[in-house]
Amino acid sequence: MPQALAVPVTSRFHDALAYASQLHATQARKGAEIPYVAHLLAVASIVLEAGGSEDEAIAALLHDGPEDQGGEATLAEIRRRFGNVVAEIVAGCSDTLAEPKPPWEERKRDYIAHLRRADASTLLVSAADKVHNARSTLRDLREFGPSVWERFSATREQTLTNYRQLIAAYADAPAGDPRRAGLVRELRELVDGMEHAEGALKE
């Protein structure tokens, strides 16, 4: 009989998945009729496939909770239910918990500066988040064309510049982590694809 593989996650992960699904139950992806939990599952999958720990995968499920659903109160609940390690990763992946949110450019500039001194776990989850966002955007650009950029708060040029700055921050951060290297490489390829997708549609 084949030997059973060890289960890589515990009931904490399942509890986090249920909590994340409840937090984002009424939320959909930008410009799409896709339940938001699909993004959270994808980011957790990317983290686990990169060799992430259970705490990192739980943080991936919850990374948008405080920013989108409740701010500091939600972060405190995450800390109570899933511990300090998870809560600190989630906080590190949030570009702001302030209401109202600061202007887009200010938030993105401050977030990139934060990433340059972030710990390896935060960088892993953050990079996984951006990889899934970029995968989704590239897929939609290939299907729907440049109208996809209208979904975003920023222009096409601002969005692509932000991705390039994120790539540099992930690559240059002092918290070295071989698990992140593949994600940085994929993100760079996805952003290259986003820049060229519209030209391919015109051919």
pLDDT (tens digit per residue) in 122-181: 999 999 999 999 999 999 999 999 999 998 889 999 999 999 999 999 999 987 899 999
The mean pLDDT value of the chain amounts to: 91
- B/e letters for 164-192, b = 16+ CB within 10 Å, e = fewer, are ebbbebbeebebebebbeebbebbbebbe
Q: Which domains does the chain have, with CATH numbers?
A: 11-202 (1.10.3210.10)
How much of the chain exceeds pLDDT 70, in percent? 93
pTM check: above 0.85: yes
Examine the pLDDT at 89 and tell me if it is beyond 90: yes
